[in-house]
Structure 1
Amino acid sequence: MTVKERLEKLGITLPAAAAPVANYVPYVISGNLISISGQIPMGPTGLEFKGQVGNSVSPEEALSAARLCGINIIAQLDAALDGDLDRVVRIVKLGGFVNCVSEFAGQPQIINAASDLMVDVFGDKGRHSRSAVGTNALPLNVPVEIDALVEITA
């Protein structure tokens, strides 16, 4: 099954890859690696989630935000690979950041929403190393930001 077929089966339509909001590029291809800049929970009408987990954002909302970040990572990959997501050899690493109150310790569970998505979409190629870090703030007051490192075929 192709990656596009898996996305269709999961009911996921990829959005257009989001443009950067500052002085950086959305991805860099170096050899057989693509580094995807941090993706935030941007939806078709703008930011879908704002706020801090444990304060104005529930853990359930943060899970949805993390999944949306994962979808946006895949959209950036799709743009970088001119629509050929089957060139993905492996999702090497996800770096997850959760804007949360200091008492919140569920960062790994929140970032699992993106990790699970990568496995659902890419199968075993979606299994990756990862970090899940709590922080007191993120750009644009989003609850989650996730970046990625991906190996591709030449």
Structure 2
Amino acid sequence: PAVAAPAAAYVMYAQTGNTVFLSGHIAKKDGKPWVGQLGKNMATEEGKQAARAIAIDLMATLQAACGGDLNRVKRIVKVMSLVNSTSEFTEQHLVTNGASELFGDVFGEAGKHARSAFGVAQIPMGACVEIELIAEIA
């Protein structure tokens, strides 16, 4: 997919040395924010699908940061996931697996990463999930 334009006053990625920091990407469905709250009107599996969709968008941004060549990715270093969820919902880690598993499928060992997954009360535009990423590139 094409790299999305920022929704506010930031850039989609910043690079220092061989480290690339990707800004948070929200889940989108049919080109619009994928709205919902886990534990209220979304189940874990749908959240996992949203996280996978974000991973695809993150890879498009990472590809742009690599000058169009994903083979330059040496390692996905860290993923941070924010899951719009009720206070009772406790499966943020399973939702985030949707992204982590795809990174492993695409990059193999280089796709294995450190990770944090948080439950939050709200995400911009009501999106169900937001994920940011740090990668090392050649």
TM-score greater than 0.5 by the shorter chain: yes
Deviation of the 1:48 alpha carbon? 5.5
Which residue, 10, 13, 21 being the options, matches 1:35? 21
Q: 1:50–1:57: 8 Å Cα contact kept in structure 2?
A: no
Whole-Å Cα distance in 1 between the matches of residues 49 and 26 of structure 2? 11
User: Any residues of structure 2 matched to 1:25-64 within 5 Å, and which?
Assistant: 25-43=11-29, 45-47=30-32, 49-64=34-49
Whole-Å Cα distance in 2 between the matches of residues 64 and 97 of structure 1? 14
Runs of 4+ in 1 over 3 A off after TM superposition: none
Which residue, 67, 89, 93 being the options, matches 1:82? 67
For these two proteins, the number of residue pairs brought into alignment is 138
Whole-Å Cα distance in 1 between the matches of residues 108 and 24 of structure 2? 22
Give 1:113's aligned amino acid. G
Deviation of the 1:46 alpha carbon? 1.7
Alignment gaps of 5+ in structure 2: none
Q: Percent identity of the aligned residues? A: 46
Whole-Å Cα distance in 2 between the matches of residues 30 and 48 of structure 1? 30
Deviation of the 1:83 alpha carbon? 1.1
Provide Cα deviations, 1:56-105, integer angstroms capped at 9, x if missing partner.
22212111100011111101011111211000010000001100000000
1:108 aligns to 2:93 (yes or no): yes
Instruction: Report the equivalent of 2:51.
Output: 66
Q: 2:38–2:83: 8 Å Cα contact kept in structure 1?
A: yes
Q: 2:19–2:134: 8 Å Cα contact kept in structure 1?
A: yes
Deviation of the 1:51 alpha carbon? 1.3
C-alpha root-mean-square deviation of aligned residues, in Å? 1.0
Q: 2:26–2:33: 8 Å Cα contact kept in structure 1?
A: no
Q: 2:18–2:136: 8 Å Cα contact kept in structure 1?
A: yes
TM-score normalised over the length of structure 1: 0.87
Instruction: Report the equivalent of 1:93.
Output: 78
Provide Cα deviations, 1:21-72, integer angstroms capped at 9, x if missing partner.
00000000110000000011125x3226201111122212111100011111
Q: Which shifted more, 137-146 or 52-61? A: 52-61
TM-score normalised over the length of structure 2: 0.96
Whole-Å Cα distance in 1 between the matches of residues 129 and 28 of structure 2? 11
Whole-Å Cα distance in 2 between the matches of residues 59 and 79 of structure 1? 30
Q: 1:52–1:143: 8 Å Cα contact kept in structure 2?
A: yes
Alignment gaps of 5+ in structure 1: 1-14
